[in-house]
Amino acid sequence: MAWRDAVQRVWWNQAQGLERLALTVVLSPMAVAYGTALLATRLPWRLGWRRPQSLRAPVVVIGNLVVGGVGKTPVVLAMVKALQRAGFRPGIVSRGYRPGLRAREIPLAVEPDSHAADCGDEPLLLRRRAGVPVWVGKRRAEVARALLKLHPEVDVVVSDDGLQHLALPRDFQIMVFDARGVGNARLLPAGPLREPLPHRLPPHTAVVYNAAGPSTALPGACCYARLGGLYSLRDWWQGLPASPAALKQLQQRPAIAAAGIAHPERFFSMLEAAGLRIERLPLPDHAPLIPSPWANDSRPVIVTEKDAVKLNPAAADAGRVRVAALDFDLPASVIEAALAALPSPGTQPHGPPLDRSPGLPDLQGAAGTRS
């Protein structure tokens, strides 16, 4: 934990003095090796020796260049809603999270009553909130093919993450950043970047900043998630609407705010801005919550939707758990750009998948230097 925290401080320019120098010296050679491997991996795609797999439906990829959460899930949900309003019938593919899921060779359908331990917390959240087919697996192109085979009604695939999965074709892609941007702008493990920040956007690409303002030099639209109300845990599992009244009731009493997400401080600050008096309970990202870490406390507990999927609504302490509902609307410019890049709803596009995929980002600086 201490080592990981120290590396994170270097990534996000929070380390000072000897700590920063020592870790930079240790991690820089590994970043050079990572960058070299990245170049070698992408060379066959650049030379046309390998091509994205062909799918019968267009694909929208939503991902991030940095490691860790940047608020990508709300963007996926908002894009699915925008596509539905435009007449599409979307499905979602994801890799899922947990060591066992990362190694999953066979695509798996996520059902509303699936267990987060089997399919991942974020895919289960997407399935319950979006109400569209969601499939997970290691190779997203194969997962998308399995989804499309069993769901002939789906006419567009939204990929939760997958910017670096070159076998997956894409008609449009969205890069998501939060307020931290790219940190020290170095490649893994010397920095948080999975790949270098491109000098210019590839075709059919938009940038969304989940922040009050842009955090990189890339042009993009800003949109920040906001608190829309609270559910009881049971109501959330039953698909009932959030209750603004529940938010007002909790403003009168102290509560525990628990968050097993990448950056819980953003969640806590949002609750405090809504007038709630909370005790912060930050948890590791994707924490299993078994047993619940607040079991010996009688105060109300507020959790994220990502954590709610791991909680049993029939548990003894479920009655005091509230789930925070977040509202997020994609900027109109992003929606318009995405729709312009897609064929009309219901059509089955054919032709070389490479012709309708954005170009690969510029890999200048891929050996671990600043881009």
Q: What domains appear along the chain, each with residue ranges and CATH number?
A: 59-223+329-356 (3.40.50), 226-327 (no CATH)
Dihedral (CA of 240, 241, 242, 246) sign: negative
Residue by residue, pLDDT tens for the chain (371 residues) are 688 889 989 999 988 888 888 999 999 999 999 999 999 999 999 999 999 999 999 999 999 999 988 989 999 999 999 999 999 999 999 987 654 555 467 899 999 999 888 899 999 999 999 999 999 998 999 999 999 999 999 999 999 999 999 999 999 999 999 999 999 999 999 999 999 999 999 999 999 999 889 999 999 999 878 888 899 999 999 988 887 778 888 888 899 999 998 889 989 999 999 999 999 999 988 888 888 888 788 899 999 999 999 999 988 788 899 999 888 889 999 999 999 999 988 665 443 343 445 666 665 555 454 43
CA 87 – CA 309 distance, rounded (Å): 29
Q: Are the CB atoms for 13 and 184 separated by under 8 Å?
A: yes
Dihedral (CA of 86, 91, 96, 102) sign: negative
Which of these, 284, 227, 232, lies nearest to 258 by C-alpha position? Answer: 284
Half-sphere exposure of 101 (CA within 13 A, CB side): 24
pTM over 0.75: yes
